[in-house]
Amino acid sequence: MLKKFIPTLIMAWLLAGCATSPTGRSQLIAMPDAQINQMGLQAFSALKNQKPISRNPQFNRLTHCIANAITQQTGGNWEVVVFQDKTFNAFALPGNKIGVHSGLIQLLGGNADQLAAVIGHEVGHVLAKHSNERASQQMVVQQGMGIIQQTALGQNPTTLGLLGLGAQYGVLMPFSRTQESEADIIGQDLMSKAGFDPRQSITLWQKMESASQGQQSVEFMSTHPAHATRIQELQQHMPQAMALFQQSQTAGRQPRCN
């Protein structure tokens, strides 16, 4: 019931804000880019005030070299910051901001191709406007729940709770896994175009799987695909990525960031 009810309820909003991602996927984009970019700028500024910034010259040279090579393929001016943080994380925000944690660089042993896969993935989120898409989805679900509360269904606490779960696991989380998979493919193409070996994207996720030590949630209950799923999808896309990599090599794009 929920799988049919929720999409029917929000169909009008989906039609009103329909857009297309870089991979050709239909998206709900309902918020102005300028507003989302401003949110990204504010969030990045707050992070720089809250988190220590790494002064490690090797980490900074490596990260800036990789990020510059990748963003040359996207255009625009990007700010890149290495944060002193032991967690295995990196991110990119609307407004062309990139952050990399020192713990991730250490985990990857300074491997430029593997770090390029991560940075390419994060830049892919920005290029595909995933932040706008997520904010738009949440706005639609909240508005939809508000409408339900005014109906007979909304007078039953049990029904309303089930509808909330349906919205969470039937709309928001699956979209998030879709966005992660899409960013993997966009990132693999970006790193290949920039001259990084896309085969290292497989090694990256094998390392991440090992580092997670079996702590990843069940895929249905997670906003990220299982590591095995990511690896399979990247392997399936590898022929296209390798073709782009060969073209970049022929064109002389061979970044030496290590």
The residues carrying an active-site annotation are: 122
Q: What span, in angstroms and rounded, lies between the C-alpha atoms of 226 and 103?
A: 21
Q: What span, in angstroms and rounded, lies between the C-alpha atoms of 11 and 33?
A: 22
Is 141 within 8 Å of 10 (Cβ atoms)? yes
First CA to last CA across the chain, in angstroms?
54
Name the helix (H) or strand (E) containing 161: helix 157-167
Half-sphere exposure of 33 (CA within 13 A, CB side): 8
Beta-strand pair 97-101/26-28: unpaired
Long-range contacts of 79-83 (CB under 8 A, 24+ apart): 79/44, 81/44, 81/48, 81/53, 82/53, 82/54, 82/56, 83/47, 83/51, 83/52, 83/53, 83/54
- What are the C-alpha distances in Å from 162 to residues 7, 152, 153, 166? 15, 14, 11, 6
- Residue 86 has what DSSP assignment? -
